[in-house]
Amino acid sequence: MRILFGTRHAQRFSIGEAAACVAALLVFLSSGFAHAQDDPYVVRTTAGLLRGQARSAGGAEFLGVPYAEPPTGELRWSEPSPRKPWTGVRDAKAFGSPCAQPVLGDWNRPDAETGSEDCLYLNVIAPDWPAKAPLPVMFWIHGGANLGGSGSGDLYNRGTLTAHGVLLVTMNYRLGVFGFFAHPALTAESPHHASGNWGLMDQVLALHWVRDNIASFGGDPNNITVFGQSAGSMDIGMLMTSPLAAGLFDKAIEESGAAFSASPVSLANAEHRGVDTIAALNLPAGAQGVAALREIPSATLLKKLGSRADDWPGFGPDIDGWVLSRSPADVFSKGGEAPVALLIGTTSREFGSSEPPDQLRLAMTRVTGDLAPQALALYGIAGRGQGTKDPLYGTASDQWSADIVFHCPISTQALWHAAAHHPTYEYEFDHAIPGQEAQGAVHSAELPYVFGFFPKSGDMSGNFGPIDLRLADLMERYWTSFAKTGDPNGDGLTKWPQVEDAQRYLSFTEDGQALASNGALRGPQCELYRNVLRERAK
């Protein structure tokens, strides 16, 4: 259909003919929007119309929303690009595919068995439909060591968190070798002379999608809180130091992961791992090897990689000069991170360890160097000591592994962020999943309480009762109060002090209460950790 209005040809039309053409044009242009008028669950996005569905608990959900072009074929290991527009109305009633990943255990087996490289989808959960007023947005980045997991499933999307007056977005991002593979040939391809941080760039693009589109779903694009757990938490800490993410979120919640819990390697080291990977697969060196690697189907590639596919940190973020220009620890220590309110914390046990005292002494000495005598005494393994047990934190080995990877990096990031005069709130989660009291509050134990969803099977299932329901409501109120205002405190809640107040934090106790501490989290142990950092920086 040629549109001739505005040209000399239009002068030949009679008034009636012009009116008819205008009417026809309006019908043509509006045909794709008819459903938006007829169906209350159709919304307009920058790429086209989406049809969601009602939730059984009220509100609406839009599942499997594409925010980027599929990173397949030649787009494998390239910067994500926004999804191209589609015609008509696209159904958004089922989760998109998880990202390709190896089986890491029963926890991610369903995602691994259904994973695909065509996986850059997100989900929007709205508590009211239509929205009565713009709602604060909580943008979830899932954990899984940057190797596994997805933003789909009941735990993250079917709970009661949104009932506290927030709009929830969950998303997928590229993982493992597909999300963090660096190589000199890929660096040469890049206009930014960088490679390896594809998964972080996915997260950045999804945040851009939220800024551009969330108002159509009832969200406030000027009030976005990123929150995540484990690797998702570490990624958020890194995004707080990334120039690409500047201004894309207003607040951050980090659960069980600091920006430097696993320090990103240099681009050169990441490229070396990529070169070594191609050599191990007996592929040609250089760009030819990368081209050959791109042609291997994802499932086949994961199988060929073997243990390299699930090695942690393995394929992980790097200081590429584009997404990450400096070490996150360096940025936070100098107060150069995003000036946003931060809520950050840990579980009391995290990942336990069963190293016998002799092996633990060797491991601690390697890490602490000249400070080893102080470290060994602190954990009760100096001389022939067998280690000091703690009813909350476990054995000396449990304590050391949780302190060095979680407690102390998290406490240090909180301390540095508060020192830069940004509102900072720290917590410790001590409540074991009922039925798992013997192992304590381990890694991920807080997730059912943050989302208000209690799994009936799997590692996070338990004999949940009234205490758990009260604790979930308590944590959801703190989390959503923070998302709304940057301050977790609210009516009827125990006062949560800021970290700048003597490094105080809030404990979610074994009996389901919230209690403010009188001092720093793992004070002596984390001061030792910071002294080790200072020694290494000399």
Provide the CATH number for the domain around residue 205.
3.40.50.1820
- What residues have CB less than 8 Å from 335, skipping those under 6 apart? 416, 419, 420
DSSP letter, residue 403: I
- Output the CA–CA distances (angstroms, integers) from residue 120 to 138, 171, 217, 406, in the order listed: 18, 8, 19, 29
Amino acid (one-letter) located at 87: T
Give the length of the chain: 538
Residues near 484 by Cβ (< 8 Å), separated by ≥ 6? 136, 165, 166, 223
Q: Are residues 378 and 291 part of one domain?
A: no
Find, among 330, 346, 331, 344, the residue nearest to 406 by Cα: 346
CA nearest to 171, candidates 151, 155, 156: 151
Give whole-number Cα distances, 363 to 60, 368, 390, 396, in Å: 51, 9, 20, 12
Assess whether 87 and 2 both reside in one domain: no
Catalytic residue among 142, 164, 431, 443: 443
- Looking at the structure, tell me whether residues 391 and 283 fall in a common domain: no
Instruction: Tell me whether strands 424-429 and 341-347 are parallel, antiparallel or unpaired.
Output: parallel
Burial of 191 (0-12, 13-18, 19+ CB in 10 A): exposed
Co-location of 368 and 482 in the same domain: yes
Catalytic-labelled residue, pool 254, 255, 337, 350: 350
d(CA 316, CA 293): 18
Q: Which residues contact 165 (CB under 8 A, 6 or more apart)?
A: 127, 135, 136, 480, 484
- How many domains, in total, are found in the chain? 3
Task: Please name the residues in contact with 522: beta carbons below 8 A apart, sequence gap of 6 or more.
Answer: 403, 407, 408, 411
* Cβ pair 234, 261 in contact under 8 A: yes
What is the distance between the alpha carbons of residues 119 and 72, in angstroms, rounded to a whole number? 10
3-state secondary structure (DSSP) of residue 104? coil
* Selected catalytic residue, list 150, 152, 195, 230: 230
Residue 112 gets which letter from DSSP?
A: H
Residue 431 and residue 470 in one domain:
yes
Q: Does residue 81 lie in a domain region?
A: yes
Reply yes or no on whether 9 is catalytic.
Answer: no
- Two structure tokens written together for 330: 């360096």
Instruction: Enter the tokens of residue 466.
Output: 């009234």
Residues 147 and 10 in one domain: no
The answer to whether the beta carbons of residues 340 and 253 sit under 8 Å apart is no
Residue 352 CB burial class (10 angstroms; 0-12, 13-18, ≥19): middle
Place of tokens 């939730």: 55
Structural domain includes residue 420? yes
**SS3 label, residue 160:** coil
Active-site residue 444, yes or no?
no
- Residue 64: closest CA among 147, 152, 126, 142: 152
Task: Determine, yes or no, domain membership for 450.
Answer: no
In the chain, count H helices and then E strands. Answer: 19, 16
Examine the domain organization and report whether 49 and 25 are in the same domain. no
Q: Are residues 34 and 176 in the same domain?
A: no
270 contact partners, CB below 8 Å, separation of at least 6: 180, 182, 195, 196, 318, 320
- Three-state DSSP class for residue 67: coil
pLDDT reported for residue 492: 94
**Is 350 a catalytic site residue?**
yes
Q: Which helix (H) or strand (E) holds 270?
A: helix 267-280
> Shortest CA distance to 342 belongs to which of 350, 332, 330, 329?
332
Evaluate whether residue 440 is within a structural domain. no
The count of other CB atoms within 10 Å of the CB of residue 491 is 6
φ, ψ of residue 390 to 5 degrees: the values are -130, 135
- Tell me the CA distances in angstroms from 486 to 26, 42, 250, 431, 489, one per residue in order: 46, 32, 8, 25, 9
Which uninterrupted H or E stretch holds 36? Answer: helix 34-38
Give, for all 538 residues of the chain, the pLDDT tens digit.
Answer: 222 223 223 333 333 433 443 333 333 333 333 334 579 999 999 999 999 999 998 999 999 999 999 999 999 999 999 999 999 999 999 999 999 999 999 999 999 999 999 999 999 999 999 999 999 999 999 999 999 999 999 999 999 999 999 999 999 999 999 999 999 999 999 999 999 999 999 999 999 999 999 999 999 999 999 999 999 999 999 999 999 999 999 999 999 999 999 989 999 999 999 999 999 999 999 999 999 999 999 999 999 999 999 998 899 999 999 999 999 999 999 999 999 999 999 999 999 889 999 999 999 999 999 999 999 999 999 999 999 999 999 999 999 999 999 999 999 999 999 999 999 999 999 999 999 999 999 999 999 999 999 999 999 999 999 999 999 999 999 999 999 999 999 999 999 999 999 999 999 999 999 999 999 999 999 999 999 999 888 7
Phi and psi, residue 228, nearest 5°: -165, 170
Residues 255 and 159 in one domain: yes
For residues 257 and 374, membership in a common domain is answered with no
- Tokens 């500047």, located at residue: 246
Tell me if the pTM is above 0.85: yes
**pLDDT in the model for residue 538:** 79
Backbone angles phi, psi at 325, to 5 degrees: -95, -20
Can you give the pLDDT at residue 537?
83
Q: Are 283 and 292 in contact (CB under 8 A)?
A: yes
Which tokens belong to 170?
């969950």
The residue segments making up the domain with residue 230 are: 41-338
Amino acid identity, position 76: R
The dihedral sign for the CA sequence 436, 437, 441, 447: positive
Say if 192 falls within a structural domain. yes
> Do 100 and 214 belong together in one domain?
yes
Give domain status of residue 446, yes or no: no
* In a shared domain, residues 418 and 279: no
Question: Does the residue 443 lie in any domain?
Answer: no
Inside any domain, residue 447: no
